[in-house]
Amino acid sequence: MRDGDGLTGLTGLTGLTGLTVATDEQVQELAGTARTFSLLVLRWAPGRHHPPRSDLSARTRSEHDPHRGFTCVRERRGMNNDTRRTTGLLRSSTALGAAVLVLGSLALGACSKTDATGTAASAIGAAPLEQDVAATDGDTIDLVSAAVETPATADAAQGADAAQGGKGDRKGLRVRMMRALHGTWVTDSPTGPVTHQAIRGDVTAVSATSVTVKAKDGFSQTFAVSGDTRVRVRANGKGADSTIGAVKVGAKALVAGVGATNPTARVVVFKVMTSQPGGSPSPSATS
Amino acid sequence: MLDDDVRTVLDGTPIAHLASTLPDGSPHSVPLWIGTVGDRVAFLTGPGSRKARNLRRDPRVAISLTPPDAPFTPVVLRGRLVEWLDGDAGWAAVDDLSMKYVGAPYGRDEERVVALVEVEHQKLGM
């Protein structure tokens, strides 16, 4: 049931309607020019997760590998009950997990540098080489459209693996997220899709009701600040509750909120800049 | 007595290289901020840093730098560490250096002291 246009399984992502599903060639092209705002829905080709059934136990161990990347949002394949199943998976994911959608393109950019047979598969954290993987991975990272051939018999095991894999990959994910400057992602909710926005950079304007942050790439985003906005301060590696009044222009801040336009900040985390970053800007103070 | 031209360079924002001797006599050199306090050359350091330990054992130093706007004009100094500034006097001197280089006071996360060097030889230019 592979679709010629690569749109296989899109209906499963009910919270992400309106996304473009890219062909392999488009993914490759995007990976070469990845920007923080590139938004990709990435799926693993079935061959990467699903060994022959006789090999399942060995594979389950490999799924626990903490060094395995978490570049791709995995979607269970099936028949008509796909929608419900997949929605549940997305809904259970935290904002962190949802952010993978946004960051996928960044990580993929790195993947593309190792775009050789086999290494591409391991670079994106897919399972070690198998014959069928090697056969289909030769050209590019076929994350998007090849998910149709998953054997239905492996579905249960796959669902369990997905949960475990996501947990074990938190660390690698965090490292990748630390490089994110800004992004938008969408999660599902009982009341419909929710658009999240986040940006990390310098505070360029702040008042009791709004905060504006400019990222290193020049992108600027203003968030409304409400009574529900949580403000946290980080100083000397420790966090503490704070107020919007304590946020000053020039501070380093991370703001995350909801709303596609005029988003409202849910959390503002800023750093106190009275001391220099790292405490010792001068060279060789400890040498 | 610091030469006026040398002082002018030291009061700018060059990155200087400070050489001291390791316990086995081999050379140790690090890049650092530099300035003046009175008639002495000043730099800051962590009190437990390699250079601080070297200088407590052997106060002889050699310093080289070039003005940021004249990188082919060497300034070469030799001298002797004559005083450590710590406490409030130390932090005042640390902040003077920090203000000069980055326009902000120095962080207080780590202990810092300032070393004062009496210059015995100085040479500016070729």
Residue-level pLDDT at B112: 94
Least CA distance to A275: which residue of chain B? B107
Is there a contact between A229 and A241 (Cβ–Cβ < 8 Å)? no
Q: What is the pLDDT along chain A (287 residues), one digit of tens a residue?
A: 444 444 444 344 444 444 555 667 766 776 666 554 445 455 554 444 444 444 444 443 434 434 433 333 333 333 333 333 333 333 333 333 333 333 333 333 333 333 333 333 333 333 333 333 333 333 323 322 222 223 333 333 333 444 444 445 666 776 776 788 999 999 999 999 999 999 999 999 999 999 999 999 999 999 999 999 999 988 777 788 999 988 888 889 999 999 999 999 999 999 875 544 444 578 888 88
Residue-level pLDDT at B3: 94
Q: Give per-residue pLDDT as tens, B54-108.
A: 999 999 999 999 999 999 999 999 999 999 999 999 999 999 999 999 888 898 8
Instruction: Please indicate if any CB of chain B lies within 8 Å of the CB of A279.
Output: yes
Least CA distance to A274: which residue of chain B? B107
Is there a contact between A143 and A45 (Cβ–Cβ < 8 Å)? yes
Q: What sign for the dihedral angle of Cα A226, A240, B92, B69?
A: negative
- Transcribe A165-200 into DSSP letters: HHHHTHHHHHHHHTT--EEEEEE--TTS-EEEEEEE
Q: How many residues does chain A have?
A: 287
Instruction: Say which CATH architecture domain A193-271 belongs to.
Output: Beta Barrel (2.40)
User: CA-to-CA distance for A244 and A43, rounded, in angstroms?
Assistant: 40
- How many domains does chain B contain in total? 1
Is there a contact between A186 and A16 (Cβ–Cβ < 8 Å)? yes
Contact B50 A287 (CB under 8 A): yes
Contact B102 A283 (CB under 8 A): no
B104 CB neighbours in chain A (<8 A) are 276
Residue-level pLDDT at A248: 83
Q: Measured between CB atoms, which of A279, A283, A287 is closest to B107?
A: A279
CATH number at residue B97: 2.30.110.10
Chain A with chain B: Cβ pairs closer than 8 A = 64
Instruction: Please indicate if any CB of chain A lies within 8 Å of the CB of B46.
Output: yes
Residue-level pLDDT at B67: 95
Least CA distance to A280: which residue of chain B? B107
- Transcribe A53-112 into DSSP letters: GGGHHHHHHHTT-TTS---S------STTHHHHHHHHHHHS-HHHHHHHHHHHHHHHHHH
Confidence band (pLDDT; 50, 70, 90) for B109?
confident
Contact A286 B109 (CB under 8 A): no
Contact B110 A279 (CB under 8 A): yes
Domain that holds residue B47: 4-124
Instruction: Please indicate if any CB of chain A lies within 8 Å of the CB of B103.
Output: no
Instruction: Please indicate if any CB of chain B lies within 8 Å of the CB of A236.
Output: yes
CA distance A282 to chain B (A): 6
- Checking ipTM against 0.90, whether it exceeds it is no
Contact A280 B15 (CB under 8 A): no
CA distance B126 to chain A (A): 27
> Tokens at residue B62, please?
């050699």
The domain segmentation of chain A, as residue ranges, is 10-177, 193-271
Instruction: Please indicate if any CB of chain A lies within 8 Å of the CB of B104.
Output: yes
Residue-level pLDDT at B78: 98
